[in-house]
Amino acid sequence: MIRRLWKWFWSPTSRFGWGAILMAGGVGGVVAWGGFNTFMEYSNTLEFCVSCHEMEQMVYQEYKKTVHYKNRTGIRVTCSDCHVPKEWTAKLVRKVRASNELIHKVMGTIDTPEKFEARRLEMAEHVWESMEDNGSRECRNCHNFEAMDFKKQHRRPQRKHPRAMEQGKTCINCHKGIAHSLPEDWEDDE
């Protein structure tokens, strides 16, 4: 029985054995998966993020003026550090949602500074809502209440961080506009 099955598996059909066909499919699958994963990682690079005119001319210029870009320690946070989850499934979901941004680029919805500014509040609110929903997960990859030494902070964060921690607030509740300009029509509730 096993011998017959083995012979059938490797015996040629009109051209190839089933084993060869399955192995070729497996190799093709590995190559396809590797290519997909490699592109997904490439799309997390700063170079990729600022490769379109809208990002390079608008938000990238704002980001370059922040502590996340240049600071005393030399640690640079890139777009994907704040906007793309590390966990693979969440990352894939974020990449699918990012395709909406590509559609708007192709449609020309945000292709000029004027159009971008007109939609800045709407785009920012989507990001803020997402960050609130996930507890500012990407911020907390680097910033964590438990790791903060409140005594070494300036007076205002010394007072506010413990209170925010007690109230269950996340980073984005207080730190909107940390890496990008706030929309002109945004009003702070606090």
Category of 181 on φ-ψ map: left (φ > 0), alpha (ψ -120 to 50) or beta: beta
| pLDDT greater than 70 at residue 19 | no
pLDDT per residue as tens digits for the range 98-146: 888 888 878 888 888 889 889 999 989 999 999 999 999 999 999 999 9
In a domain, 29, yes or no: no
In a domain, 9, yes or no: no
Q: Could you tell me which of 141, 127, 133 has the C-alpha nearest to residue 179?
A: 127
Q: Higher model confidence: residue 41 or residue 5?
A: 41
Q: What is the pLDDT of residue 189?
A: 62
In a domain, 116, yes or no: yes
In a domain, 100, yes or no: yes
Query: What does the pLDDT average to over 50-59?
Result: 83
188 in Cβ contact with 160 (< 8 Å) = no
Q: What is the pLDDT of residue 53?
A: 72
Number of compact structural domains in the chain: 1
In a domain, 185, yes or no: no
| pLDDT greater than 80 at residue 173 | yes
In a domain, 71, yes or no: yes
| CA 104 vs CA 100, 169, 181: distances in Å | 6, 32, 20
| pLDDT greater than 60 at residue 181 | yes
Q: Which domain holds residue 134?
A: 54-142
pLDDT per residue as tens digits for the range 134-164: 999 999 999 999 999 999 999 999 999 999 9
